């Protein structure tokens, strides 16, 4: 099992460009999450999907949209990138509703917006 | 290297020492806690968890202590090794909720 995979690993955008970060998990998990990580800020939740067909805002959703394409895939879209969105983005998944909520993380996408 | 370590509290230890990493959590109603380890350039990795009905839980070389009175978690690593060098995060949640709230992290540096 690959666990949680993310593409691309690195990306450089110009201000105003758009892009989609892809995430897939092969653990049959119900819940998926997108976080951003900035120096000294820890992990902040952007959006999550508690189950297929639902999405909810997290702590920092502005400037982002998400799509839960199916149970395996959860994408994050930046419609008009801004320098403030330079960050490392992590996708995670978990088996909701079965006790402890351990989340499994992907390797991250390092995004720079110029 | 990964820039996530900038401005983080740092604990420097010698190989073989025991390490203690502390975390103050925010929500007194939280009833489930996790410690994650993040190595440079990688995603966070689960280390150990604890429920609020326990005050101590042991794993392999790691022990988590929970003090609900003062909303404090600690992670103890026995016989610390250079491979333990990483950023360590605590996370909290309420059972039945999907989302975790993460602390800002502590960088552990282990010198040979």
pLDDT at B7: 67
Residue B59 resides in a domain: yes
C-alpha span between A67 and B20 (Å, rounded): 40
A13-27, A38-52, A75-89, range with the lowest pLDDT: A38-52
The answer to whether B77 touches B84, Cβ cutoff 8 Å, is yes
Q: What are phi and psi of B70, to 5 degrees?
A: -110, 10
pLDDT surpassing 80 at residue A101? no
Res B50: pLDDT: 94
Q: What is the pLDDT of residue B8?
A: 81
CA of A49: which chain B residue's CA is closest? B98
**Nearest C-alpha of chain A: how many angstroms from B67?**
19
pLDDT at residue A97, as a whole number: 53
> Residues A10-35: what's their mean pLDDT?
96
Please indicate, yes or no, if residue B2 is contained in any of the structural domains: no
CB contact under 8 A, A39 and B7: yes
Quote the domain boundaries for residue B50. 10-111
- Residue B70 covered by a domain: yes
Give, for all 112 residues of chain B, the pLDDT tens digit.
344 455 689 999 999 999 999 999 988 989 999 999 999 999 999 999 999 999 999 999 999 999 999 999 999 999 999 999 999 999 998 876 778 889 989 999 999 8
Question: Who among B2, B46, B103 is closest to A102 (CB)?
Answer: B46
Residue B96: is it exposed, middle or buried by C-beta count within 10 angstroms (0-12/13-18/19+)?
Answer: exposed
User: What CATH number does residue B56 fall under?
Assistant: 2.60.40.10
Could you tell me which chain B residue has the CA closest to the CA of A103?
Answer: B46
C-alpha span between A5 and A13 (Å, rounded) = 21
Q: Please check whether residue B21 lies inside any domain of the structure.
A: yes
Positive or negative, the CA dihedral A7, A43, A104, A67 is negative
pLDDT at A100 over 70: no
pLDDT band (50, 70, 90) for residue A47: very high
- Looking at the domain assignment, is residue B3 inside a domain? no
Phi-psi region of B55 (alpha: psi -120 to 50; beta: other; left: phi over 0): alpha
Mean pLDDT over A7-20 rounds to 97
Q: What SS3 state is found at A87?
A: strand
Q: Does residue B1 lie in a domain region?
A: no
Q: What is the count of structural domains for chain B?
A: 1
User: Between chains, do A43 and B44 touch, taking CB under 8 Å as contact?
Assistant: yes
Q: B5 to chain A, minimum CA–CA distance in Å? A: 6
pLDDT bracket for residue A96 (50, 70, 90):
low
Chain B residues whose CB is inside 8 A of the A93 CB are none
Could you tell me if residue B5 is inside a domain? no
Of the candidates B25, B24, B26, B22, the one whose C-alpha atom is nearest the C-alpha of residue B11 is B22
- Determine whether the interchain pair B4/A39 forms a contact, defined as Cβ–Cβ distance below 8 Å: yes
């Amino acid at each position: 099992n690959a666990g949680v995979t993310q593409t691309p690993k690195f990306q450089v955008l110009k201000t105003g460009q758009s892009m989609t970060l892809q995430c897939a998990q092969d653990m049959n998990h119900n819940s998926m999450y997108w976080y951003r990580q900035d120096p000294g800020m820890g992990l902040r939740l952007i959006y999550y999907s508690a189950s297929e067909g639902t999405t909810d805002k997290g702590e920092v959703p502005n400037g982002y949209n998400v799509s839960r394409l199916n149970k395996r895939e959860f994408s994050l879209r930046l419609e008009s990138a801004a320098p403030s969105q330079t960050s490392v983005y992590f996708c995670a998944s978990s088996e909701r509703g079965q006790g402890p909520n351990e989340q499994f993380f992907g390797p991250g996408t390092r995004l720079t917006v110029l | 290297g990964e820039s996530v370590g900038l401005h983080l509290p740092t604990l420097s230890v010698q190989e073989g020492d025991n390490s203690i990493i502390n975390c103050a959590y925010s929500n007194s109603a939280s009833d489930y806690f996790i410690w994650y380890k993040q190595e440079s350039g990688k995603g966070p990795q689960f280390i150990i968890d604890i429920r609020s009905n326990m005050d101590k839980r042991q794993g392999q070389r790691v022990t988590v202590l929970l003090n609900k009175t003062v909303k404090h978690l600690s992670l103890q690593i026995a016989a610390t090794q250079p491979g333990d060098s990483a950023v360590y995060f605590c996370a909290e949640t309420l059972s039945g909720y999907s989302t975790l709230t993460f602390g800002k992290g502590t960088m552990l540096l282990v010198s040979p």
